[in-house]
Structure 1
Amino acid sequence: MTVQTQTVLSAILFATGLWLSLILMLRYILKALLSYHAWIFESHGKMSFCTKLWLSLVKMFSGRRPLLYSFQASLPRLPVPSVDDTITRYLESVRPLLDDEQYNQMEVVANDFKRDEAPKLQKYLILKSWWATNYVSDWWEEYIYLRGRSPIMVNSNFYAMVRHLRALGVVPMCSYQMERMFNTTRIPGIETDFVQHLSDRKHLVVYHKGRFFKVWLYYGGRHLWPSELETQFQRILDDTTEPQPGELKLAALTAGNRVPWARSRLKYFSQGVNKASLEAIETSAFFLTLDDEAHGYDPDKLRSLDLYAKSLLHGKCYDRWFDKSFTLIAYKNGKLGVNAEHSWADAPIVGHMWEYVLATDCFHLGYTEEGHCKGDINKGLPPTAKLQWDIPLEDSYMVAKEIADDVDFHGCLFDEFGKGLIKKSRTSPDAFIQLALQLAQFRDKGEFCLTYEASMTRMFREGRTETVRSCTIESTAFVRAMQDKNTKSAQRLDLFRKAADKHQNMYRLAMTGSGIDRHLFCLYIMSKYLNIDSPFLKQVLSEPWRLSTSQTPQQQLNMVDINKFPRYVGAGGGFGPVADDGYGVSYIIVGENLITFHISSKFSSPETDSYRFGQNIRQAMLDIRALFDQNDKKEM
């Protein structure tokens, strides 16, 4: 090479190396900044100088217009908590649920574990955390969701309904789960399922009155306009053909037990028209049900919200494809909803999508005065294709119907007060509601129980959820004081504040990687891999969550001013009960003056009643507010 060529190549190599070094350095600095979590533990409305400086640096290194996945490589890894911290917090969490003798026995078992099995398990878990992107998420998806052989309808899938991302606006959340929102299906297997995600698909499958139709989303190299999609859907609605033999309840296969579905799939759907039709469903962008029923919240109809939720959760057991990442449900009265499969993502991801859909539909696309989609129609659109089947098998309908019929659901709209009044009392709205749930649970059953509240860990790469154990020593002390007629209001209020502070601190610990349940879960899985028998971990993982709760995040996107447009706010979503004799409670804080509770249980349990529990929640909320009202009168 000539001297000039050598000089040019050297310059190129130097510039490339400098550019890569700069990118890596910026990424490392941003990762170090995002590992700072002290801001979460500061009092609401008070920000230290360190946090202000940190926010400024994060803004500076984030760039002006970061894209959805811009921060993925800069997010910190989820840390592995110390065994000592986890055991200490675990024992503290079960203390209010055990008598002295039971607690002493648990303390002995826990300390034996900490001394004998834990060091080796923790060492291997730390090794995993070094090479895995997230030491929890892959095992969580596999063992909590995909290896389950029982039906996913009600037991795993959840729903979101409609009445028509960033923390602090700066801190990024992991967007990994959003990658599998579309073109994703859970495929059944004999021993375990797997999640099939395709990069791109250009069709969806529509179910209407027992028939399946393939609808193309693209034509001539472009996406179909809303007016053209409306035309395609109208063609399906106008189609009067009858379902083929076995087609009507075919989707019940996805609602029943996983092993029979896996075997049927191998036996009857591996060739011919069945294979082609099933492939069309499993490779579709998503599944759409044009429901022939009318549902939605109607204040003039008793328990209309209950029927709406049950329909979204399980429908007729054969009119949703429960394996798809989500089934969009459109009722004949225009109301909408979503049933989502749980393994690929958690509820906030679906909520994020749902907010975007509602805001875009109402404020960007819109409708004509006659109620039709705006835009022209290409009359040369290809017709919808009816899927063909040759099905000589019985379906899983009866198994699914038994599960669906057992769901006792109640939707409770609490409009006495909301976030506005709670914040005036200088209390976290979530802590306020969780303590109300503890009071309601005790009044409902006469005892305390292990309580699950889901929190996010998405400030870490590929983070999903962690558990906040809401039943604490402080919360039980408050509940007992509320039930004791001899306890004065001032004492009750003092105990309430201590319990609320405790709950808020636990929630923050869970969000920042210091929760205990995912750590204990991974230690248990590691013990199975290493064939180490642990009585302590067996007992921990077998404890039932008789009260499972979750707050549905609201206004993640801020695309709608809910004060101006209150009709265009989602009413949240819900899920089935985790324990046979327990409750599942999802709630969403809507604006300043409304909280919606979605309560589920099982009719087969003589101990539970969803409507009764809803009334207990309502009374608990009012009783706690009365404490603040009495305190305000005294201060006046």
Structure 2
Amino acid sequence: MWKMTQLLLRPSSPRVRFSTPPLSTRPFSSIRPWKQDSVESRGHYPDEAWIEEHVGGPLYQHQKSLPRLPVLSIEDTLRRFLPTALPLAKSSQEAQALQSAVAKFPQQAAQLQERLLQRQKDNPNSSWLQHWWNTAGYLQVRDSVVINVSYFFHFQKDPTAVNQIQRGAALLVAAADFRKKVVTGQLPAEAVGKQKTPLCSVAYKYMFHACRIPVRDHDSYMIYDPARNRHAAVACRGHFFKMDFVDEDGNAYPLSVLEEGLQKCRDLADELPPSLPLGWLTSQNRDDWADARQTLLESCPRMEQALEVLQSAALLICLDEVDRASSEAMAQLLLHAGRDASSGANRWFDKSIQLVLTKEGQAGLVGEHSMMDGMPVMNFANRLTEVTYAQAGALATAKVTSCNVGPIFSNLNISSAHKSQIDRHINKAMLELETAASRHELEVVRFHGYGSDFIKKAGFSPDAFVQVAMQLATYRLWGEQVGTYEATQVRPFLHGRTETTRAVSTESAAFCKEMGLHPKFDEHHESVRKQKLRLLQEAVTAHVKFMGAAAKAEGVDRHFFGLSMLVGDGENAPDLYSDPVFARSKRWRVSTSHLTHPRFENWGYGEVFPDGVGLSYSIHKRHCGFSITALKEHDWTEKLGDKLEEALLEMRALVELDQHPTSKL
């Protein structure tokens, strides 16, 4: 059936025109053009604020009225900090030293606090944090974006799409629909809570026609005028193609035209001579990639224009050679281009959005994290997964009968000397990504014992309940609690991104110690059960409280970060910054993030530290899902998955036995 469908999709008419249009020619659309073709961002959101005014619409209507990120008092920050750090002290001496450093901090950091307050005043139309965070947290980081920065969403199968071409075409139609709303500003601004508190929309400028650019020491981000760029990029067998997919008004091309365009990309990839697999280069250390890119630019006059065609594409569709993949294999395909990175040539990891498809039609998204966090991209992914192949035809309203398809990197006439240099760069990048992929393991855990329905009925916050379970699981894995991060968005504030919800607390420590390193199976003893249940309730309450504070930008980590950035050359930092427990408390050996979507199979990212785990999770009504990443040498992911299930089952027993003391579990 699959082969027959493929044959039927092969173009037998001139609907798809194979051409290599002049790379400098950019047709204007009726979407209002920008005042310039492109913008190079260095991570300072206000520099691109003019785009919001140019676009207007509901998407950006709240930007000027959003509150600004606060600067907390030192006393409040220290009060919240201490309970999250004391459980990590390994001795009474360490605990006393920490408390001593905390006591001295207000005086030692007083001048830093004054500087931070002044910085807030000096940025009346932004946030005191955003430029530091975008640069020091992302654009100046030299690690590869693969595993270290990028994240993935694995979508559920579309039952109406039987193969890669159909699924890809449907995704392009849905992407075009969402893109049009973004570039015209007609997308409703996001809001949260019963009060419908509006969220900052700044990230949407970096979603489409956007690409990170490697530059030594400090990358930049290019965003391109959507009125001048109506194409997507398509990767297949290491070749990259330009494919028009929307008309001048932003409407998607007909579904049949998009299918034939994608099929033409596959056919051309088979027919063309082997390409330079340039996609590998984007997986490198950023300085190495910057050097390699400079070699590319020097290799021929047309290379810069070719790169710009790829960079300016709305997004990248990756047509992979994998037929079908298990949950783990699909997650690996998205996280690092496959178990052995075999699809590394078929990626451009700098693109803000990549959509990856297997031949059978499994699909997912890879997001470059530098200028956008996960929630705006999930909003986009919601539309991508909402529109099925069966529904997509009705949304594709452009009045065209063909689309231009052409290879991006063709007829470049690279000299043999430069070709040798480029080959060396590619071989190095290939080896490094293959090594990184082979060193990692990823475990997908589906816990079917219960989900949010049970947790809510028991009177707990689902997120906090699962966070406490993760504390117990990691405590049992390592025999101690460790620094644990939960990403919490602060987008109710202008240019807000995230704050840390710290999962370690004196309450979670007490609960973990009471539960022990191994199950005790003593829940039937009423006094024991009551004690454990009380400690569970206190641990969950503590997490809810800290998460609520973090959501109001009243966490501790961004404040500490801001103060540390203002220590001048030759000045002594406050003693607290060199305290071992302080350092331990923000060494995120467990990096967690919660995102639940009914049409996602899975989602995830890599660990933050080599001796840690990445732990993404979803809490559905009747089940929970986890994605665990870590270095293979530790042999942790499967063990942690087992510990998670064990902890969740024990916690259910505590609750159920308390409600029904005579029940037998």
Q: TM-score, normalised by structure 1?
A: 0.81
Once the 2 structures are TM-superposed, how far is the Cα of residue 228 of structure 1 from its aligned partner? Answer: 1.5
Is the 1:214–1:387 contact (alpha carbons within 8 Å) kept by the matching residues of 2?
no
Structure 1 distance, partners of 2:69, 2:388, is 37
Structure 2 distance, partners of 1:70, 1:374, is 28
Structure 2 distance, partners of 1:119, 1:466, is 22
Q: 1:57 aligns to what?
A: none
Give yes or no for the alignment of 1:68 onto 2:59. Answer: yes
Give yes or no for the alignment of 1:365 onto 2:392. Answer: yes
Q: 1:69 to 1:361 in 2, by over 3 A?
A: farther
Match of 1:615 among 620, 639, 642: 642
Q: 1:78 aligns to what?
A: 69
Structure 1 distance, partners of 2:374, 2:209, is 18
Give yes or no for the alignment of 1:275 onto 2:308. Answer: no
Amino acid at match of 1:626: A
Q: 1:10 aligns to what?
A: none
Corresponding residue SS for 1:68: helix
Match of 2:117 among 92, 112, 126: 126
Amino acid at match of 1:313: L
Structure 2 distance, partners of 1:399, 1:459, is 40
Give yes or no for the alignment of 1:254 onto 2:282. Answer: yes
Structure 2 distance, partners of 1:240, 1:510, is 49
Amino acid at match of 1:382: N
Give yes or no for the alignment of 1:351 onto 2:339. Answer: no
Residues 502-513 of structure 1: pairs in structure 2 closer than 5 A: 502-513=542-553
Amino acid at match of 2:329: L
Corresponding residue SS for 2:61: coil
Q: 2:96 aligns to what?
A: 104
Query: Once the two structures are superposed, what CA deviation does each residue of 1:30-65 show, in whole Å capped at 9, x if it has no partner?
Result: xxxxxxxxxxxxxxxxxxxxxxxxxxxxxxxxxxxx
Structure 1 distance, partners of 2:256, 2:583, is 52
Task: Judge which range, 594-603 or 163-172, deviates more.
Answer: 163-172
Once the 2 structures are TM-superposed, how far is the Cα of residue 544 of structure 1 from its aligned partner? Answer: 1.8
Match of 2:560 among 517, 520, 526: 520
Structure 2 distance, partners of 1:172, 1:572, is 28
Match of 2:476 among 443, 446, 454: 443
Give yes or no for the alignment of 1:149 onto 2:142. Answer: yes
Q: 1:546 aligns to what?
A: 589
Amino acid at match of 2:110: P
Is the 1:228–1:376 contact (alpha carbons within 8 Å) kept by the matching residues of 2?
no
Amino acid at match of 2:636: D
Is the 2:87–2:509 contact (alpha carbons within 8 Å) kept by the matching residues of 1?
yes
Structure 1 distance, partners of 2:592, 2:405, is 45
Is the 1:203–1:214 contact (alpha carbons within 8 Å) kept by the matching residues of 2?
yes
Q: 1:187 aligns to what?
A: 213
Unaligned runs of 5+ in 2: 1-56, 158-189
CA RMSD of aligned residues (A): 2.4
Once the 2 structures are TM-superposed, how far is the Cα of residue 229 of structure 1 from its aligned partner? Answer: 1.3
Q: 1:596 to 1:402 in 2, by over 3 A?
A: same
Is the 1:348–1:553 contact (alpha carbons within 8 Å) kept by the matching residues of 2?
no
Structure 1 distance, partners of 2:636, 2:484, is 18
Structure 1 distance, partners of 2:209, 2:353, is 10
Once the 2 structures are TM-superposed, how far is the Cα of residue 508 of structure 1 from its aligned partner? Answer: 0.2
Task: Judge which range, 494-503 or 543-552, deviates more.
Answer: 543-552
Structure 2 distance, partners of 1:512, 1:97, is 25
Amino acid at match of 1:519: H
Corresponding residue SS for 1:327: strand
Is the 2:257–2:402 contact (alpha carbons within 8 Å) kept by the matching residues of 1?
no
User: Which stretches of structure 1, 4 residues or longer, exceed 6 Å deviation after superposition?
Assistant: 373-377
Is the 1:490–1:631 contact (alpha carbons within 8 Å) kept by the matching residues of 2?
yes
Once the 2 structures are TM-superposed, how far is the Cα of residue 536 of structure 1 from its aligned partner? Answer: 2.5
Is the 1:227–1:375 contact (alpha carbons within 8 Å) kept by the matching residues of 2?
no
Amino acid at match of 2:240: F
Unaligned runs of 5+ in 1: 1-65, 297-303, 368-372, 555-561, 563-568
Residues 421-570 of structure 1: pairs in structure 2 closer than 5 A: 421-483=454-516, 485=520, 488-528=528-568, 531-539=571-579, 540=582, 543-554=586-597, 569-570=599-600
Once the 2 structures are TM-superposed, how far is the Cα of residue 578 of structure 1 from its aligned partner? Answer: 1.0
Is the 2:499–2:551 contact (alpha carbons within 8 Å) kept by the matching residues of 1?
yes
Amino acid at match of 1:260: D
Once the 2 structures are TM-superposed, how far is the Cα of residue 594 of structure 1 from its aligned partner? Answer: 1.8
Corresponding residue SS for 1:342: coil
Once the 2 structures are TM-superposed, how far is the Cα of residue 183 of structure 1 from its aligned partner? Answer: 1.0
Once the 2 structures are TM-superposed, how far is the Cα of residue 166 of structure 1 from its aligned partner? Answer: 2.3
Is the 1:440–1:613 contact (alpha carbons within 8 Å) kept by the matching residues of 2?
yes
Match of 1:575 among 599, 605, 608: 605
Structure 1 distance, partners of 2:500, 2:116, is 19
Query: Once the two structures are superposed, what CA deviation does each residue of 1:396-445 show, in whole Å capped at 9, x if it has no partner?
Result: 11112211111110001111111101000000000110010011111111
Give yes or no for the alignment of 1:629 onto 2:656. Answer: yes
Query: Once the two structures are superposed, what CA deviation does each residue of 1:239-293 show, in whole Å capped at 9, x if it has no partner?
Result: 2546656613x11111011111111212322542322221111121111111111
Residues 389-408 of structure 1: pairs in structure 2 closer than 5 A: 389=412, 390=414, 391-392=419-420, 393=422, 394=424, 395=426, 396-408=429-441
Is the 1:128–1:135 contact (alpha carbons within 8 Å) kept by the matching residues of 2?
yes
Query: Once the two structures are superposed, what CA deviation does each residue of 1:292-337 show, in whole Å capped at 9, x if it has no partner?
Result: 11345xxxxxxx2111111100112332111110111121111110
Structure 1 distance, partners of 2:643, 2:317, is 37
Amino acid at match of 1:434: Q
Q: 1:244 to 1:238 in 2, by over 3 A?
A: closer
Corresponding residue SS for 1:384: strand
Corresponding residue SS for 2:69: coil
Structure 2 distance, partners of 1:218, 1:380, is 11
